[in-house]
């Protein structure tokens, strides 16, 4: 095996990214406090051609050097918007026909591997605060909550890991199956 050179990776330009067909997913960050986490989620959203990111509450917004440090330019390719109130953002997404999903540990959650997104539908996936998760008021507005099965002692992932796992599952089910 030979490691590929950067020019062999087929990377899109920012303009090509903006014109590309997107995964029908909007990511909502509900009071995520870490600049580095926000930047990493931008980078992951770029990798999976996410439609848009919605940054809410105390979630920091670009431009900021700590976001840029981990986003590596993805704040230029991924469309984003800021809402002071997560509830308002979610209500608007519901009005626009999005199925609202929280990535959260709740009673009655669906294991991620058992959730089958329907082609032709649009999804908004909410990731919450690093300690408190998605607020209960936001969970109350969700159509479904998905949970990533975990088997160790911690039963929590960093939000950036959760976003990567969830987006990979959605990408597999939309594009690869």
Q: What is the pLDDT of residues 14-47, one digit of tens each?
A: 999 999 999 999 999 999 999 999 999 999 999 9
pLDDT at residue 177, as a whole number: 67
pLDDT at 168 over 70: yes
Tell me the whole-structure pTM to 2 decimals: 0.96
Residue 22 exposed, middle or buried by CB count within 10 Å (0-12, 13-18, 19+): middle
Contacts of residue 21, defined as CB under 8 A and 6 or more positions apart, other chains included, come to 49
SS percent in the chain: helix, strand, coil, step 5: 40, 25, 40
Q: What does the pLDDT read at residue 71?
A: 98
pLDDT, average across residues 123-149: 97
Q: Which pLDDT belongs to residue 176?
A: 76
* The CATH number of the domain covering residues in 18-176: 3.40.1280.10
Average pLDDT on 83-104 reads: 98
């Amino acid at each position: 095996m030979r490691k590929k050179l950067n020019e062999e990776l087929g990377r899109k330009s920012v303009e090509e990214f903006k014109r590309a067909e997107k995964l029908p997913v909007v990511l909502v960050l509900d009071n995520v406090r870490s600049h580095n986490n926000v930047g990493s989620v931008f980078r992951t959203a770029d990798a999976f051609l996410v439609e848009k990111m919605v940054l809410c509450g105390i979630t920091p917004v670009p431009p900021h050097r700590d976001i840029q440090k981990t986003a590596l330019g993805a704040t230029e390719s991924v469309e984003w918007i800021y809402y002071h109130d997560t509830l308002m953002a979610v209500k608007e997404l519901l009005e626009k026909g999005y199925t609202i999903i929280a990535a959260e540990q709740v009673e009655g959650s669906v294991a991620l591997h058992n959730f089958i997104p329907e082609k032709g539908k649009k999804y908004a996936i909410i990731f919450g605060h690093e300690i408190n998760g998605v607020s209960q008021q936001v969970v109350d507005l969700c159509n479904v909550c998905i949970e990533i099965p975990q088997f160790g002692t911690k039963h929590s992932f960093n939000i950036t890991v959760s976003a990567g796992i969830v987006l990979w599952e959605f990408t597999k089910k939309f594009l690869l199956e």
